[in-house]
Amino acid sequence: MDEPFEIFLACAPGLEPMLRDEAVEAGFDKPACVPGGVILRGHWAEVWRANLMLRGASRVLARIGEFRAMHLAQLDKRARKMDWGAVLRPDVPVKVEASCRKSRIYHAGAAAQRVTGALEAAGIQVTTEADLVVRARIEDDLCTFSVDTSGELLHRRGHKPGVGKAPMRETLAALFLRAAGFDGRMPVIDPMCGSGTFVIEAAEIALGLAPGRSRRFAFERLASFDPEAWAAMKAGVTGREAESLYRGSDRNAGAIAMAQENAARAGVGAIADFTHHVLSDLPGPEGARGLVIVNPPYGGRIGNKKLLYALYGSFGKVMQDRFGGWRVGLVTSEAGLAKATGLGLSPGPVVDHGGIKVRLYAGKVTG
């Protein structure tokens, strides 16, 4: 595959513009929003770099070929003409997943069988137990083949074993930080930090650390993989000095211990500080203004919604009393809870967070 091909960066629907902006800043060429993610064109090096560097993408798909197919026999014939060996290795088994929409081929299982036959004819092992996934999407009679180059979802950074209740995925946290106005330099405070995801993500961004530095990827088992070029790419990410401190607190002592361990494993312990205290004891900030961002309990996930209005009201009062001029970002499923802060926060797009529809409410504290 010497010619550039389409690369799809998946993310939570509603956050596509944030991921596009991140891809632009990272130097990817002409990324464009589509439902459920961002598309761009590039070569395998861009695939590797997207997996290594992009914080908001949940997975990276390489679209390795497409053709029109009106019936199963045509799908079978044309799939057998593809140069599978240019991408897949005979010693690495793959799993086939197929989907059909608005097409004359409407049986996904039958389509997957034809693609499986084409792969096996090319000497590629196919098993339902394989970790490497080949996807065939048939829509409006156009069959598009993709390889999932990430493997495990990209929020699994590889250096955070501990999570608390209602954990925020790192990929979502990174995009919510961006949507709330985090510029990579300002201080960030999370007074309901749980296992520390917002604080640790912000600290990693400030230090210029690659989110994929601690894990392996599915593309390392493709025929197109070049270990030396990949090692050089990772070595080229040198990081930078941070300009601020990143602070988290929580009323749960166990969560704080977990956050401290996670920060140490991520290599940000020197600039990420976690303390055990209740929201009302949150100290006022010193120095430059920054961002307070929280993922507090909301009725659909933890606790009784009626008991939460006082918590959100207390959060708003602490912000107004001690954080004048600071940005605020608050993730919740309930507009009424966001309103209870009294901060006049503006709602962002609806986002699926573990099966619950949430929004980021963001704004600036007056004063």
pLDDT in tens, 147-201: 999 999 999 998 766 555 557 899 999 999 999 999 999 999 999 999 999 999 9
Q: Are residues 192 and 115 in the same domain?
A: no
Let me know: does 321 contact 314? Beta carbons within 8 Å: no
Cα torsion 133, 210, 349, 161 to 10°: value is 70
**270 with 348, same domain?**
yes
Q: Give the separation between CA 82 and CA 98, rounded to whole angstroms.
A: 17
Sequence-ordered list of residues with C-beta below 8 angstroms from that of 307, at least 6 positions apart, any chain: none
Structure tokens that stand for 301 in this block? 């996930």
Average pLDDT of the residues in 128-140 = 95
Tell the residue number behind the tokens 């130097």, with chain if given: 27
Residue 219 located in a structural domain: no
Q: Work out the burial of residue 173: count CB atoms within 10 Å of its CB; fewer than 13 is exposed, 13-18 middle, 19 or more buried.
A: buried
279 is a domain residue: yes
The answer on 180 and 140 residing in a single domain is no
The single residue listed with the structure tokens 């800043």 is: 25
The verdict on residue 32 lying in a domain is: yes
Per-residue pLDDT reduced to its tens digit, 232-285: 999 999 989 998 999 999 999 999 999 999 999 999 999 999 999 999 999 999
Same domain, 182 and 309: yes
Question: For residue 276, what are the β-bridge partners?
Answer: 250
Q: Which residues, in sequence order, are bridge partners of residue 327?
A: 291, 364
The answer, yes or no, to whether residue 335 has pLDDT greater than 80, is yes
State the CATH number of the domain containing residue 103.
Answer: 3.30.2130.30
Do both 28 and 139 map to the same domain?
yes
Average pLDDT estimate for 332-360: 94
Instruction: Clarify whether residues 113 and 15 are in a common domain.
Output: yes
Give the predicted TM-score (pTM) of the model: 0.94
Computed over every residue of the chain, the mean pLDDT equals 93
CA 278/CA 154 separation, integer angstroms: 32
Residue 162: predicted pLDDT: 54
Structural domain that includes position 73 = 5-148
The CATH number of the domain holding residue 190 is: 3.40.50.150
User: Is 232 part of a structural domain of the chain?
Assistant: no
Query: Do 175 and 142 reside in the same domain of the chain?
Result: no
Q: Residue 231: inside a domain, yes or no? A: no
pLDDT over 60 at 302, yes or no: no
Q: What is the CA radius of gyration of the chain?
A: 23
Whether 164 is covered by a domain: the verdict is no
pLDDT digits (tens, 9 = 90+) for 161-174: 655 555 789 999 99
Inter-axis angle of helices 170-179 and 197-207, nearest 10: 70
Domain presence at residue 29: yes
Looking at residue 163, what is its pLDDT? 58
pLDDT in tens, 52-111: 999 999 999 999 999 999 999 999 999 999 999 999 999 999 999 999 999 998 889 999
- Name the percent of the chain lying above pLDDT 90: 88
- Looking at the structure, tell me whether residues 247 and 310 fall in a common domain: yes
Q: Are residues 175 and 206 in the same domain?
A: yes
Residue 220 lies in a domain: no
Are 56 and 94 contained in the same domain?
yes
Same domain? For 175 and 312 the reply is yes
Say if residue 116 is in the same domain as residue 255: no
Selected residue with higher pLDDT from 1 and 233: 233
Does the pLDDT value for residue 50 go beyond 90?
yes
The C-alpha atoms of residue 214 and residue 222 are separated, in whole angstroms, by 19
Domain count, the chain: 2
